[in-house]
Amino acid sequence: MTETERETKKENKDRPRSGRGTSWIRQQFGRGLTYFIVVAAGIMFYFALLRATNLTDVLWTVVDVLKPILYGLIIAYLLNPIVKQVDRHLGPALKKKMKNETKAKKLSRAAGIALAVVFLFFLITALINMLIPELYKSIRDLVMTLPGQLNSLGREFNRFYANDSAIGDIVKRALSEGTDMLQNWLRTDLLARINDLMASLTEGVISFLSEVFNALIGVIVSVYVLFSKEKFVSQTKKTVYAVFSTRNANAILHLTRKSNEIFGGFIIGKIIDSAIIGVLCFIGISILRMPYVMLVSVIVGVTNVIPFFGPYIGAIPSAILIMLADPLKGVYFVIFIFLLQQLDGNFIGPKILGNSTGLSAFWVIFSILLGGGLFGFPGMLMGVPTFAVIYYIVQTIVNRRLENKNLPTQSDFYDELSYVDDSGSYVGGGDAGDTRDGQGSEAENGRQDQK
C-alpha cells in the first residue's frame, strides 16, 4: 500500500459517519417536518369542521353555477343509447358509400344526435299536450268537488252514529271542532300569510323558469358532449393511467365500466318500465270509468320509478282521491293496482331490467331507506344503483382475498356446518360431509363462475 493510499484511508476513517453526519440531520429534519404536517393537517381539519356550513354553501354555489353542465351530462347520458344505435346501423352503410371514413363517421354521429334531440323534444311536447290539459281538468274537478265530498262524508258519519249517543256526540264534537279550527285558520293564519305565500309562489315560478333555462342550455351542452364523447373518454383514461399505478388504474377503469353498466341498465330500464306501467294504468282505469284518470296515471307512473316502495307511494293518495268520489271504485282501483304491480314485478320488470343491480330484496329496501333518508326523492331513485356499485366493490375485494387463501368464493359453501380448519383448508358440512379435497372441483368452479 502506497503512502497516498494510507493518507486517503486515514482521512476516510476520521471523517464523520453517515449515521451521525449530514444524513442523520436530514432524517431528524424530515421527522420533525412530518410531525408538523400532521399537526397542521389536524388543525386545518378542526377549523374545516367548524366552518362546515360555509364550505357546504360554497359547494352548493358551485353546483348551482354548473347546473347547465350537469344537466347536459345527464341528457347526454340518456340520449347516448339512441346515438349508439344510429352509429351501429348507419355508420357502416355510410362508410361503404363514402370514400372518406372520417366524414362518414361525423355524418353518422350528426344524424344520431339530431335524431336523439328531435326525439327528446317530440317526447316533451307530446307529454305536455297530453298531460297539461288533462291534469288541469282533473285538479279543477278535484278542487270543485272536494268540499262537497267532505260534507257528504260528514253527513254519512252523522247518520251512521245517530243511534249511538256516546259515539255520535264524540264524532259530532270532533267534526265541529275540526270545522272551527279550519275556519279560524282560513280567517287568521291564511290571510296573514297571504303575502308570504304570494312571494313563495313568485320565487317558485322564477326558480322553475330558471331550471327550464338551465335545461335548454344543458341540451346544447349535451350535443357537444355526444360529438366528442370518445375524446373525453380517451383523455380521462390517459389521466387515470398517468396518476395511478397500472394495477390501480385498470381496477378504476373496470369499476367505471361496471358502474356505467349498472346505472345505465337500471335508470333507462326503469324509465321504460314506469312509462309502460303509466300507460297500462291509464288504459285500465279508463275502461273501469274511474275519476281523475290522467292525474292518477301520472302519479302511478312517476312513483313507479322508485323501486319497491314506488307503487305503494303512488297508489295510496290515488286510492284516497278515487274513494272520495266513489268508495266502491276506490276498492276496485286498489285491486287493479295490486294486479298491475304483480304483472310488473313478475313479468314486465324482470323482462326489461333483468338482474341489472344484482341486489337481493333486503339490500334494495336498505338502499332505498338510506338514500331517501339522506337525499330525499333523488336518493330513493339513485340509492339502489349506487349501493349496487358499492356492493360489487366489497364483493370483489372479499372474493379476491378468499381466492388468495385458496377458499371457495360462493356463499353456498359457507353453511352452518362448514368451517375452515387451522391449516386454512375448507371443510364442508351438511349432507356432503366432504373435505376441501372432496369439494375442490366444485369450489374451483364456483370461483371461476364468480370471476
The answer to whether 305 and 238 have CB atoms below 8 angstroms apart is no
Q: Stretch 87-95: mean pLDDT, rounded? A: 85
Distances (CA, A) of 178 to 173, 277, 321, 355: 8, 38, 20, 50
pTM summary value: 0.65
- Please tell me the predicted confidence (pLDDT) of residue 10: 52
Confidence of residue 218 (pLDDT cuts 50, 70, 90): very high
Largest CA distance in the chain: 131
The answer to whether 427 and 418 have CB atoms below 8 angstroms apart is yes
- Please tell me the predicted confidence (pLDDT) of residue 328: 84
Alpha carbon distance 112, 86 (integer Å): 5
- Please tell me the predicted confidence (pLDDT) of residue 190: 58
Single out the residue of 27, 331, 69 nearest to residue 218, CA to CA: 69
The answer to whether 72 and 218 have CB atoms below 8 angstroms apart is yes
- Please tell me the predicted confidence (pLDDT) of residue 435: 41
301 has a pLDDT exceeding 80:
yes
